[in-house]
């Protein structure tokens, strides 16, 4: 691991240095206190409503090894005297100059991926197939409120492949994309007629497009498990890109499993599939997980189970409204279990969209018979909640019988 940012290349750009600043390297450059890791360079951000300089002591506790400090800002008396402060009139300008220097050394191929939730599938497949290499994944939602210089300066010099996932093509990613100049562009949408809605950076040397409905491209070179067959065009496209970045015509398909896509998967004796998903309830994750449930083949019913504990803040009702906005017509059933999950059922009933009817169960005992019926047939069930042991027990009983 070779970090680009060091005390030596910072010192030449600042007006004053305090503390012990000799022979330091900084693997990450961060302005958000929550992103500070061991060895980070903390760059406090200040605007009309926020002053990151007030959190420098918290940054030290979190492992920051130094700070790029704006001249004139008071330094807390309790800050350790040996803590390195690189003082300048414009911390952002210093970061921009460092990022420009980094780009002179940057050689890793850059893969730019955009589209709907299927683009995330392509991204996850490529990430799994290149697991043995040093890769960097830049995502647009993790990049909000972060300068393009921070993003670039946190990329290790030894990185072999850089992936940029920009599903919504947000403006926050424009400078990063323009700076890194992608070598390969990929656009992926479930519906082929949506492919033209994405725009590519002009610098891209190779362009790949893929869709599921209708299938594009039509190829069958990979040996895929049945539950991935509906996403074959995405896998085949990923295989083409894999060849371009590695020179290998045979991607390690065996590296793909449920966890690759963020799920724990279990199959039932009736050729059904269970997807356990426990990521935070954000808009992006809902589009991704509900897209999976809507389109994975071949199953008769597509059942979403929302149980107690499906989010970290159970009293936050706005997430329930998101379900009503993001459910698709392909989902046949929605089961909600427990008091907190009731609000999802309530939001679905109040929605003006045509949605699958939600069945609410006050307790797990009430839900068991309907859950057993689904798990005993050729159906796919996605479970969101903290009581997956209940599903394990039902599956164990069915398999034993």
Task: Give the span between the Cα atoms of 122 and 237, in whole angstroms.
Answer: 8
pLDDT tens profile 97-128: 999 999 999 999 999 999 999 999 999 999 99
Q: What is the pLDDT of residue 313?
A: 43
**Nearest alpha-carbon partner for 159 in 111, 108, 113, 112:** 108
Is-contact 332 303, C-beta < 8 A?
yes
Q: Which residues of 256-293 are buried (b: 16+ CB within 10 A; e: fewer)?
A: bebebbbbeebebeeebbbbbbeeebeebbbbbbbbbb
Q: What is the per-residue pLDDT for 143?
A: 52
Q: Catalogue the E-assigned strands of 221-341.
A: 264-267, 273-276, 302-306, 333-337
Nearest CA among 283, 330, 279 for reference residue 303 = 330
Residue-by-residue pLDDT tens, the chain, 401 positions: 688 999 999 999 999 999 999 999 999 999 999 999 999 999 999 888 889 999 999 999 999 999 999 999 999 999 999 999 999 999 999 999 999 999 999 999 999 999 999 999 999 999 999 998 999 999 875 555 788 999 999 999 999 999 999 987 666 688 899 999 999 999 999 999 988 876 666 655 899 999 999 999 998 899 998 888 999 999 999 999 999 999 999 999 999 988 898 888 888 889 899 998 745 445 457 788 888 999 888 899 999 998 876 654 444 445 556 666 677 788 999 998 988 777 777 777 777 666 677 889 999 999 999 999 999 999 999 998 888 888 999 998 887 76
Query: What pLDDT score was predicted for residue 38?
Result: 96
| Cβ 108 vs Cβ 160: under 8 Å | yes
Q: Can you give the pLDDT at residue 371?
A: 95
CA distance 190 to 132: 29
pLDDT at 312: 43
3-state DSSP percent of the chain in helix, strand and coil, to 5: 40, 20, 40
Domains and CATH numbers, the chain: 5-102 (3.40.1390.10), 106-251 (3.40.1190.10), 262-400 (3.90.190.20)
Instruction: For residues 70 and 65, give the distance between their C-alpha atoms in angstroms, rounded to a whole number.
Output: 17
């Amino acid at each position: 691991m070779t970090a680009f940012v060091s005390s030596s290349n910072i010192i030449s750009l600042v007006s004053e240095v305090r503390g012990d600043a000799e022979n330091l390297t900084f693997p990450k450059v961060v302005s958000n206190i929550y992103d500070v890791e061991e060895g980070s360079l903390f760059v406090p951000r200040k605007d009309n409503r926020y002053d990151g300089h007030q959190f420098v002591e918290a940054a030290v506790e979190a492992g920051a090894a130094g700070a790029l400090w704006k001249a004139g800002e008071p330094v807390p008396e309790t800050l350790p005297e040996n803590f390195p402060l690189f003082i300048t009139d414009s911390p952002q300008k210093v970061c921009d100059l460092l990022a420009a220097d980094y780009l002179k050394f940057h050689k890793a191929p850059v893969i730019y991926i955009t589209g709907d939730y299927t683009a995330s599938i392509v991204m996850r497949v490529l990430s799994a197939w290149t697991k043995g290499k040093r890769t960097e994944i830049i995502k647009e939602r993790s990049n909000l409120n972060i300068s393009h210089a921070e993003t670039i300066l946190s990329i290790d010099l030894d990185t072999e492949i850089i992936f940029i996932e920009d599903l919504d093509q947000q403006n926050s990613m424009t400078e990063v994309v323009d700076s890194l100049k992608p070598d390969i562009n990929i656009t992926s949408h479930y519906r082929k007629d949506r492919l033209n809605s994405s725009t590519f950076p002009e610098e891209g040397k190779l362009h790949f497009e893929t869709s599921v409905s209708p299938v594009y491209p039509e190829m069958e070179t990979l040996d895929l498990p049945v539950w991935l067959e509906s996403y074959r065009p995405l896998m085949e496209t990923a295989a083409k890109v894999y060849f371009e970045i590695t020179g290998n015509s045979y991607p390690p398909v065996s590296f793909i499993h449920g966890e690759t896509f963020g799920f724990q998967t279990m199959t039932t004796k009736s050729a059904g599939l269970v997807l356990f998903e426990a990521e935070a309830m954000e808009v992006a994750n809902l589009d991704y997980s509900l897209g999976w449930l809507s389109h994975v083949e071949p199953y008769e019913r597509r059942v979403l189970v929302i149980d107690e504990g499906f989010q970290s803040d159970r009293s936050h009702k706005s997430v329930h409204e998101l379900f009503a906005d993001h459910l698709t017509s392909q989902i046949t059933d929605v089961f909600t279990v427990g008091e907190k999950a009731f609000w999802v059922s309530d939001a679905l009933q109040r929605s003006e969209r045509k949605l699958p009817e939600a069945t609410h169960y006050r307790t797990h005992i009430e839900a068991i018979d309907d859950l057993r019926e689904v798990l005993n047939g050729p159906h796919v069930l996605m479970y969101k909640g903290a009581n997956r042991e209940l599903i394990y027990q039902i599956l164990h009983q069915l398999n034993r019988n």
